[in-house]
Amino acid sequence: AATGDGAPSSSRVFVVRRDQDIYIHTLRKLFNESHGIFMGLQRSEEELAGKSRKAQLVQVSKNYRSVIRACMEDMHQAAALKLGPAFLQVSILSAMELIWNLCEILFVEAATAGPLLLRLLDWVRLHVCDVDSMVRQVLSSESPSKHKLFWNLGNTQTLTELELKWQHWHEECQRYLQDGTFASNPHMESICKILLGDEDAILEKKELMTTWYHFLVTRLLYSHPTVKPMELRFYAQSSMDLFLGGESSPEPLDMILMAAFEFEMHQVIKECSIVLSNWWFVAHLTDLLDHCKLLQSHNLYFGSNMREFLLLEYASGLFSHHSLWQLGVDYFDHCPQFGRVYLELHIERVPLSTEQKALKVLRICEQRQMHEQVRSICKIMAMKALRNNRLGSALSWSIRAKDAAFATLISDRFLKDYCEKGCFSDLDLIDNLGPSMLLSDRLTFLGKYREFHRLYGEKRFAEAARLLLTLMTAHIAPCSFWMTLLTDALPLLEQKEVIFSAEQTYELMRCLEDLTAGNPDKLCSLQDDDVETTKVEMLRLALARNLARVIVKEGTVEGS
């Protein structure tokens, strides 16, 4: 069913779509609504047994069909407004419903000999549009009392009894015919023949019946009302042969229905997959049949079973759609073997146009513990934010992904901006990092460094000094930043009050010497720069002075 939508002109770019029907606007309703039914079916795992379970499954099947019908109706409405391809779509939908209904009768409900014909009768009535009037004509004009009686009997009496009575009635009709009661009226005669199940007589009225299955059901009604499911295939085959009579070859639809009458479930699904331009039908029908436990024995030679294979195809189609991708997620979830892998591959390819969409995709991944995808989505969003100069957002995204490397990168950007501008941007974020600060060393440093600034701003100098020192001695600060930190210490050293203790001052001095001595490259570059050398000199001076003051102070305090 993969089809190509070609642009045959000079451009020669072909849009290949795996499931063309996905793009039909009016069908979106079908996809969305049936998604709900599908989910309901998956949830309703076999809590019910036996009969009620069957009733439940039949109800599900009817729900699916009613969605198809609703869609057809919408298309009729649309077609009323603008004539166009809608007609084709309606006919496809109606064929889908026709097949589904037959499958429902034969497979899901598995009607037994008596009710089977009733169901088939309903089925034909429902789908052959002008059958209503005809049925009325055929049924009501003849012997309505007998017919009513006949059908009422179906409910109360056993099959054998029914058959006896039917035969009795049958013989009565035959007698009428032989007696020539109706001889005067050829119409009445033929009606009587029809009632007797005379195939030739029925065939004569062929033009009244649009299809061979209509003929089949009519024939069954008048000649074999108690047909058993297994006998259907013979009647079906012969009906088709008789009806088409070699004039025309069977259409694909005929083949599908024939396969259904033959109880060849796999053949039905196979033919449908080939003929229909969507995966919706086969995926949902197969899933339903699977829940009826009708497909268990059948495993495909390529990995998963047929249900899963078809669901995967359908869901992949949904993912290729601009907006229906969300539905696909749930279908993948119910493919035990490959669903997860498919989802992982598809979800990464959903374009993330806004943060809100990204959040929705993220939620899908997080609910399913798809850590790899979570990381990649967050990274994409962080990169986008970074490109837009939204450092705060970028940091938020990398924190959500717990992406340490990226958090480090962004922290560096923040610090660089600070060195250039002398003030921090995005304070509201940095001040509120909380535990997420521990994600990366650089981020911790950023948070702590900002804390130092805050303490300093609040004139809590002693705490600020202690924090500043810890940043260096505990190696939280990157070496490249030490010079800035030491420069930050300058105003603290120059305060009227002594802030750094003697021990702390020694530590500061060691840091300074480590920086200048331990790193000759750095030293060279520092010496090149007059400003830097002056800075170092000033620092040394300030440290020495502070040391002198603190020794005096500590000495006096101890002495006194």
Partner 1 sequence: MSCKGDTRTQRSRGGGPAEQTGNTAAPSRLPLFLPLPTRPATDAEPIGAGAAARRSQAEHSAAPARPGNRGQQAPPGSYKRRGRLSAAPGPARTRSRRAPGLSLRARRRAAANQRARRGAGGSGRGAGAAMEDVSAKFVSQKISRTRWRPLPAAALQPPDVFATGSWDNEDNRISIWSAGDLGNAGLNGEYHGEPHLLCDIQHNGDVMDMQFLDQERIVVASSTGTVTIFRHHQNNQTLSADHRWAKAHYHVDQDTSCGGAACTGVVCNNPEIVTVGEDGRINLFRADQKDAVRTIDNADSSTLHAVTFLRTTEILTVNSIGQLKIWDLRQQRNEPSQIFSLAGDRVPLHCVDRHPNQQHIVATGGQDGMLSIWDIRQGTMPVSLLNAHEAEMWEVHFHPSDPDHLFTCSEDGSLWHWDTSTNVSEKPSFLHQGGRSTAYLSHSTMNQSVVSAWLSNDPTKDRMEITNLIPNQTLSVNSLDVLGPCLVYGTDAEAIYVNRQLFA
Residue choice 39, 153, 380, 462 for contact with partner 1 (CB under 8 A): 39
Residue choice 3, 77, 140, 152 for contact with partner 1 (CB under 8 A): 77
3-state secondary structure of 9: coil
- Told to check if 59 binds partner 1 by CB under 8 A, we report yes
- Told to check if 416 binds partner 1 by CB under 8 A, we report no
Q: Which helix (H) or strand (E) holds 3?
A: strand 3-5
Q: What's the closest the beta carbon of residue 72 comes to partner 1, in angstroms?
A: 7
Ramachandran quadrant class, 3 (left: phi over 0; alpha: psi -120 to 50; beta: rest): beta
Q: What's the closest the beta carbon of residue 386 comes to partner 1, in angstroms?
A: 9
Backbone angles phi, psi at 305, to 5 degrees: -80, 175
Q: Which stretch binds partner 1 (CB under 8 A): 72-80, 264-272, 401-409, 502-510?
A: 72-80
Q: What's the closest the beta carbon of residue 32 comes to partner 1, in angstroms?
A: 5
Residue choice 432, 480, 527, 534 for contact with partner 1 (CB under 8 A): 432
- Binding to partner 1 in span 466-495, by CB under 8 A: none
Cβ atoms of 189 and 211 within 8 Å: the answer is no
Q: Which stretch binds partner 1 (CB under 8 A): 24-32, 222-230, 334-342, 404-412?
A: 24-32
- Told to check if 541 binds partner 1 by CB under 8 A, we report no
The percent helix, strand, coil of the chain (3-state, each to 5) is 75, 0, 25
Residue choice 2, 16, 70, 517 for contact with partner 1 (CB under 8 A): 70
Q: Which residues of 466-485 are buried (b: 16+ CB within 10 A; e: fewer)?
A: bbbbebbeeebbeeebbbeb
For CA atoms 187, 192, 197, 199, give the dihedral sign: negative
Cα separation of 535 and 444, whole Å? 27
- Told to check if 125 binds partner 1 by CB under 8 A, we report yes
Geometric angle at alpha carbon 528, from 522 and 530, rounded to 5°: 115
Which residue lies nearer to partner 1 by CB, 48 or 524?
Answer: 48
Residue choice 115, 303, 491, 555 for contact with partner 1 (CB under 8 A): 115
Which residue lies nearer to partner 1 by CB, 384 or 522?
Answer: 384
Q: Which stretch binds partner 1 (CB under 8 A): 65-73, 170-178, 197-205, 228-236?
A: 65-73
CA end-to-end span of the chain, whole Å?
97
Cα separation of 431 and 424, whole Å? 11
3-state secondary structure of 305: strand
Q: Which stretch binds partner 1 (CB under 8 A): 167-175, 325-333, 494-502, 536-544?
A: 325-333
Cα separation of 14 and 17, whole Å? 9
**Tokens at residue 393, please?**
């957002």
Residue choice 15, 80, 531, 557 for contact with partner 1 (CB under 8 A): 80
- Told to check if 326 binds partner 1 by CB under 8 A, we report yes
**Tokens at residue 491, please?**
């105003």
Q: What's the closest the beta carbon of residue 185 comes to partner 1, in angstroms?
A: 31
For residue 2, count other CB atoms closer than 10 A to its CB.
Answer: 12
Cβ atoms of 444 and 478 within 8 Å: the answer is no
Which is nearest to 263 in space by CA: 414, 476, 102, 432? 102
Which residue lies nearer to partner 1 by CB, 132 or 503?
Answer: 132
Relative to beta strand 3-5, strand 15-17 is antiparallel
- Told to check if 334 binds partner 1 by CB under 8 A, we report no
Q: Which amino acid, one-letter code, is at 296?
A: Q
- Told to check if 84 binds partner 1 by CB under 8 A, we report no
Which is nearest to 281 in space by CA: 76, 16, 101? 101
- Told to check if 21 binds partner 1 by CB under 8 A, we report no
Ramachandran quadrant class, 2 (left: phi over 0; alpha: psi -120 to 50; beta: rest): beta
Which is nearest to 124 in space by CA: 251, 450, 116? 116
- Told to check if 160 binds partner 1 by CB under 8 A, we report no
Cβ atoms of 333 and 339 within 8 Å: the answer is yes
- Told to check if 28 binds partner 1 by CB under 8 A, we report yes
Which residue lies nearer to partner 1 by CB, 24 or 498?
Answer: 24
- List, in order, residues 6 or more apart from 464 with CB less than 8 Å away: 452, 455, 456, 492
Q: Which amino acid, one-letter code, is at 329?
A: V
Burial (0-12, 13-18, 19+ Cβ within 10 Å), 34:
buried
Residue choice 189, 426, 441, 463 for contact with partner 1 (CB under 8 A): 426
Q: What's the closest the beta carbon of residue 299 comes to partner 1, in angstroms?
A: 29
Q: Which stretch binds partner 1 (CB under 8 A): 75-83, 191-199, 287-295, 300-308?
A: 75-83
- Told to check if 85 binds partner 1 by CB under 8 A, we report no
- Binding to partner 1 in span 164-183, by CB under 8 A: none
Binding-site residue total for partner 1 (CB under 8 A)?
Answer: 67
- Told to check if 429 binds partner 1 by CB under 8 A, we report yes
Q: What's the closest the beta carbon of residue 131 comes to partner 1, in angstroms?
A: 10
- Told to check if 393 binds partner 1 by CB under 8 A, we report yes
3-state secondary structure of 389: coil
Q: What's the closest the beta carbon of residue 3 comes to partner 1, in angstroms?
A: 19
Which residue lies nearer to partner 1 by CB, 180 or 435?
Answer: 435
- Told to check if 337 binds partner 1 by CB under 8 A, we report no
Q: Which residues are near partner 1 by CB under 8 A?
A: 25-26, 28-29, 32-33, 35-36, 39-40, 43, 55, 58-59, 62-63, 65-67, 69-70, 72-73, 76-77, 80, 115, 118-119, 122, 125-126, 129, 132, 322-323, 326-327, 330, 353-357, 359-360, 363, 367, 387-393, 396, 399, 425-429, 432-436
